[in-house]
Amino acid sequence: MIHRILGTLASAASQPSDERQPTPAVRLDGVTHEYGATGGRLRAGEQRTVTALRDVSIDVQPGETIGLEGPSGSGKSTILHAVAGLLVPTSGSVELIGTDLTPLSTRKRTHVRRQHVGIVFQHFHLLPSLSARANVALPLVQTGVPKRARRKRATELLTQVGLGDRTTHLPSELSGGERQRVAIARALATDPTVVIADEPTGELDTATGNAVLDLLTDVGRERAVLLASHDESTLAVADRVITLRDGQVVADGH
């Protein structure tokens, strides 16, 4: 079944662009998502929810970098999580290269995420007990890539992000910028179609943040990149910036 889905994804990606409208790498169509609220006093039978997204529709083309801006709670991270298949929206559809993720089971969404989505977190989220190389090779373990091939691929990616000489270092032995570059290398390990980055420069100083942004810009030449940030200088690298307020798209432009 998974192969069938992947086959669909692959065939969709290989559709000739001159025959029809190119399939977007990511398409959100009328996505609404509500979280169950916790805390406070609820009456019997009363259910309180918080609406994180209201009827959001976004298309992202391959090779396009999209910036998501807005205050905290505006729904930026929820969009990223929906694209990554980490959550299923309450209504609407989330398509990845033409395939709707919303009806898929958790296992199948995990499989699609492993093959087609790379994630960069604000707090890096590297495993502290593994070396930089082992962290980068982590997604390849589940895909069944042999050890030697994993090491080779991880070393190549670390070299690509300028950390070829830090492969055996633990995250605690790396600076913040280096950790984020390791996280970006990990996101690229499976050569994903889409890279999502949630506040990638949030924990970095300006110079280091700029270096990381340059890296993401390089990454975005071949892939669709969704970048969520409060920071205008971070959003400046995006081809298009979508502004969110209270879970709604209020602006979408260059």
Partner 1 sequence: MDTDDEQPPYADSERQSQREDERSTDEFSGRRTNRTRWVGLGRLAVTRLWKRTTKTTSRRVVATISAVALTIALLVVVTGVALALADGGTTTENDADVQVMPESTDLLSSINGVEGARLGEANERAASIREAEGVDHATPVLTEPMRLERAGEGGTTVSESNETEANATDNRTVTDPQTVLLVGVTPDGESRTVAGLPTSELASDADTTADTANATDTNATAAQGPGQRELVLSTTAAERLGVTAGDELAVSSSQFEITDTPPPTVTVTAVVETSGDDETPVALGHLRALQTLSGSSEGELADRVLVWGESDAAADRAAAAYPDATVETPDRTDPSLLFDDGLAFVTSVLALVVVVAICAAFVATTAGMTVNEDRRMLAVLESVGFPTHSRLAIVAISTQALTLCGALLGGVLGFVGIHVLNAVASGTIAPGAVAETHPLFLPYALVIACVAGLIAIPYPLVIAARTSVLAEVSR
Which residues are at the interface with partner 1 (CB under 8 A)? 1-4, 77, 81, 84, 86-87, 106-107, 110-111, 113-115, 119, 121, 125-131, 134, 138-139, 141-147, 150, 170, 172, 186, 190
Question: Counting Cβ atoms within 10 Å, is residue 55 exposed (0-12), middle (13-18) or buried (19+)?
Answer: middle
Question: Counting Cβ atoms within 10 Å, is residue 243 exposed (0-12), middle (13-18) or buried (19+)?
Answer: middle
Residue with Cβ nearer partner 1 (9 or 59)? 9
Residue with Cβ nearer partner 1 (11 or 233)? 11
User: Quick one: which of 154, 176, 162 has its CA closest to 215?
Assistant: 162
Residue with Cβ nearer partner 1 (23 or 124)? 124
Find the shortest distance in angstroms from Cβ 120 to partner 1: 10
Both tokens of 151, joined, read: 């090491």
Give one DSSP letter per residue of 163-212, joined into a string: -TT-TT--GGGS-HHHHHHHHHHHHTTT--SEEEEESTTTTS-HHHHHHH
Both tokens of 133, joined, read: 């190389």
Q: Where are the alpha helices (DSSP H) in 201-249?
A: 206-219, 232-235
Both tokens of 190, joined, read: 């499976």
Find the shortest distance in angstroms from Cβ 125 to partner 1: 5
Find the shortest distance in angstroms from Cβ 145 to partner 1: 7
- Cα→Cα distances 141→115, 137, 148, 253, Å: 12, 7, 11, 39
Find the shortest distance in angstroms from Cβ 97 to partner 1: 16
Residue with Cβ nearer partner 1 (176 or 239)? 176
Find the shortest distance in angstroms from Cβ 197 to partner 1: 13
Residue with Cβ nearer partner 1 (47 or 172)? 172
Find the shortest distance in angstroms from Cβ 2 to partner 1: 5
Residue with Cβ nearer partner 1 (56 or 189)? 189
92 within 8 A of 128, measured Cβ to Cβ: no
Find the shortest distance in angstroms from Cβ 110 to partner 1: 5
Residue with Cβ nearer partner 1 (138 or 211)? 138
113 within 8 A of 195, measured Cβ to Cβ: no
Tell me how far apart the alpha carbons of residues 188 and 223 are, in angstroms, rounded to a whole number. 10
